[in-house]
């Protein structure tokens, strides 16, 4: 298991004990770039504004063709239901094209999420 952090957080945060590698980058931009490069796909678990920002960044990069990795929202306890509703409205209003809307895997079940991500990875 690989972790990626920034120097400013290295001494402040506790990291998963099972990490086999920990990369420390000087800036958030460099941290996110390395995470995108290392990842096979992206799953947003319930989280705060940083989680939202990072998810929508990788989702936007997918739309723009910078990667073709699967992106998913794990909708635990309906956490992401308001985001899904917002994206439905964006699609209805013409701000989000249907293929891009369908590119986000959405489920509350982690096993189904991984299954769908694996099938999308095999298709790409």
pTM listed for this prediction: 0.85
| Domains contained in the chain, CATH given | 1-38 (no CATH), 42-124 (3.40.50.450)
What is the number of alpha carbons within 13 Å of residue 27 lying toward its C-beta? 3
Q: How confident is the model at residue 104 (pLDDT cuts 50, 70, 90)?
A: very high
CB neighbours of 115 closer than 8 A, spacing ≥ 6? none
In angstroms, how far is CA 88 from the centroid of its own chain? Answer: 19
Q: What is the pLDDT of residues 45-96, one digit of tens each?
A: 999 999 999 999 999 999 999 999 999 999 999 999 999 999 999 999 999 9
Q: Which residues of 97-120 are buried (b: 16+ CB within 10 A; e: fewer)?
A: eeeeeebbbbbeeeeebbebbeeb
Q: Is a pLDDT exceeding 60 seen at residue 123?
A: no
Q: What is the pLDDT of residues 7-19, one digit of tens each?
A: 888 888 778 888 9
């Amino acid at each position: 298991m690989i972790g990626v952090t920034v120097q400013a957080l290295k001494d402040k945060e506790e990291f998963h004990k099972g990490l086999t590698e920990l990369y420390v980058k000087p800036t958030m931009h460099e941290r996110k770039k390395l995470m995108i490069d290392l990842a096979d796909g992206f799953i947003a678990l319930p989280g705060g504004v940083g989680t939202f920002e990072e998810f929508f960044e990788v989702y936007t990069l997918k739309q723009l063709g910078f990667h073709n990795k699967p992106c998913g929202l794990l909708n635990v306890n309906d956490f992401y239901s308001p985001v899904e509703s917002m994206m439905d409205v964006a699609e209805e209003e013409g701000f989000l094209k249907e293929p891009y809307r369908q590119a986000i895997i959405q489920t509350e079940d982690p096993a189904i999420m991984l299954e769908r991500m694996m099938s999308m990875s095999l298709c790409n």
